[in-house]
Amino acid sequence: MGLITSLSPQIKQYLVITGNYWAFTLTDGALRMLIVLYFHQLGYDPLSIAMLFLFYEIFGVITNLVGGWLGARFGLNRTMNIGLALQIVALAMLLAPTSMLSILYVMAAQALSGIAKDLNKMSAKSAIKLLVPSDEQSQLYKWVALLTGSKNTLKGVGFFLGGLLLTLLEFHGAILAMICMLTAVWLFSLFALKEDLGKAKNKAKFSELFSKSKAINVLSAARLFLFGARDVWFVVALPVFLAATFGWDHWWVGGFMASWVIGYGIVQSFAPAFTGKKSGQVPNGRSAFLWASYLTIIPALIALALHYDFYIQAAIIIGLLIFGVVFAINSSLHSYLIVSLADSDGVSLDVGFYYMANAMGRLIGTVLSGWVYQQYGLEACLWISSAFIALAALLSLALPQTAEVPSP
């Protein structure tokens, strides 16, 4: 207890924000797995289950754009707490009797969950910028990497948690347990988060939703293509391919995907060690270009293995693991760049705009993943992935090419 009271106010706020983000992420990952497994048990086909998450992605795009303005105008503490409250409401909607859980109803609940998730994420990422002095960019990179990596690790843990809760408590019991946990976190957050954190000195205008910074616009476009490249083969095409081609049941598929997400998050946390932090450097536009260039090669090689029928199972599993490592570094690097480049006054405007592009990339990737796989197969999805990453790499050349800090 004495250790906690001796911490600086910045560290205490970082811990509260991270704890909020972790709790939310656990329920977000668990809820996704609960819905997939439960509706599979009810006899829904894969395409119908995928449609349940469509509003989740669409409303993520809208929320990031508007949420950045809300955070700058009313404070990040409020947007983070609103996100937690909305997730509780979304979970409560799913306590309805099974007969009421139609596709449209669950899509509406997922829309609310999508709004909640992106309010929470935008608030957490923006708040970190305000807790680190502007001359400590290396520390900022470390904190952003830890927050981003731990979130994705816990999302993977959430996949396992969802399956475990469904087994032990059944669907409605699992939902109720998550509501109780998240309500406790929300009540604590209402008192622990600093008031007016992230509130702009000048009232943010609604017309300022779209970034006027060239660097932010370029980075946002690169992010769109980067996450579109992941989801175009990862969201629908890969799980269906693993089940249909290799004969894996849904537990094997879900477990493999969850393990991938956990590993991906762990690598993100240690990304600074791969990108020059030891030499006193932090990422810049050149770093983003180089790491995206490395990533471009991986889906192309997997596509070639599929085309020539070359050890397909090994190529996909090993290729996916390598893709996960390099993609995690790219993602963590981008997450640092947006927080670093964002304007401190009204930081959430820039971060919200950037994550709007991130959500748009996920939406495009999700839609293409189902349609392209159905029409042309996994190989085509992989070629599109490679092309998207190449575009992200080229866009990175227009980012600031210098961003060094003195060695600690």
Tens digits of residue pLDDT in 28-45: 888 888 887 788 778 777
Q: 368 lies in a domain?
A: yes
Select the highest-mean-pLDDT range: 6-10, 76-80, 386-390.
Answer: 386-390
**pLDDT reported for residue 405:** 37
Reference 90, options 107, 118, 110; nearest CA is 110
The predicted pLDDT at position 239 comes to 81
**Higher pLDDT pick, 200 / 107:** 107
Report which DSSP code applies to 211.
-
For the segment 278-306, the average pLDDT, to the nearest whole number, is: 88
Query: Is the per-residue pLDDT at 126 higher than 80?
Result: no
CA nearest neighbour of 45 among 254, 253, 258, 250: 250
For 180, how many CA atoms within 13 A lie in the half-sphere containing its CB?
6
- Output the pLDDT for position 346: 57
Whether 34 is in a domain gets the answer: yes
HSE at residue 155, side-chain half, CA atoms within 13 A, is 19
Lowest mean pLDDT of 71-80, 183-192, 374-383, name the range.
Answer: 71-80
User: DSSP letter at 281?
Assistant: B
Q: How many angstroms separate the CA atoms of 216 and 211, rounded? A: 7
Location of structure tokens 């409250």: 85
Here the CATH number for the domain that contains residue 21 is 1.20.1250.20
Q: Nearest CA to 29 among 150, 147, 170, 187?
A: 150
Cα-Cα-Cα-Cα dihedral of 226, 227, 229, 233, to 10°? 160
Strand-pair partners of 404: 281
Residue that has been written with the tokens 């939703």 in this structure: 209
Average pLDDT of the segment spanning 108-136: 78
Q: What is the pLDDT of residue 145?
A: 77
Across residues 176-201, what is the average pLDDT? 80
Q: How far apart are CA 113 and CA 3, in angstroms?
A: 35
Structural domains in the chain (count): 1
Asked if 24 and 182 count as a contact pair (C-beta separation under 8 A), the reply is yes
Whether 255 maps to a domain, the answer reads yes
Residue 220 lies in a domain: yes
Highest mean pLDDT among 7-21, 195-209, 360-374: 360-374
Confidence band of 117 (pLDDT split at 50, 70, 90): confident
pLDDT bucket at 184, cuts 50 / 70 / 90: very high
Most confident listed range (98-102, 208-212, 240-244): 98-102
408 within domain boundaries: no
Mean pLDDT value of segment 196-224 = 69
- Return the structure tokens found at 337: 């760049």
pLDDT of residue 1 exceeding 50? no
Question: Is residue 266 assigned to a domain?
Answer: yes
Q: How confident is the model at residue 277 (pLDDT cuts 50, 70, 90)?
A: low
In this predicted structure, which of 78-82, 322-326, 336-340, 346-350 has the lowest mean pLDDT? Answer: 346-350
Q: Is the pLDDT of residue 192 over 70?
A: yes
Tokens standing for residue 353: 């705009």
Count of helix runs (H) and strand runs (E) in the chain: 15, 0
How far apart are the C-alpha atoms of 356 and 58, rounded to whole Å? 10
Which positions ≥6 away from 1 have C-beta within 8 Å?
none
Residue 125 pLDDT exceeds 50 = yes
Beta strands (DSSP E) in 5-153 are none
In a domain, residue 401? The reply is: no
Using only C-alpha atoms, what is the Rg of the chain? 21
Q: Which residues contact 11 (CB under 8 A, 6 or more apart)?
A: none
Question: For residues 336 and 6, which has the higher predicted lDDT (pLDDT)?
Answer: 336
Name the residue range of residue 321's domain.
Answer: 9-396
Structure tokens that stand for 305 in this block: 């293995």
User: Could you tell me the pLDDT band of residue 408, with boundaries at 50, 70 and 90?
Assistant: very low
For residue 331, give the amino acid letter. S
95-101 long-range contacts (CB < 8 A, ≥24 apart) are 95/172, 95/175, 95/176, 95/179, 98/42, 98/171
Please, what is the average pLDDT of the chain? 82
Helix axes 347-376, 54-74, angle to 10 degrees: 170
Q: Does any domain span residue 282?
A: yes
* pLDDT tier at 404, thresholds 50, 70, 90: very low
Say what the pLDDT of residue 99 is. Answer: 87
**pLDDT top residue among 290 and 272:** 290
Find the angle CA(328)-CA(219)-CA(283) to the nearest 5 degrees.
Answer: 55
Provide the pLDDT for residue 323.
96
CA separation for the pair 138, 280 (Å, rounded): 8
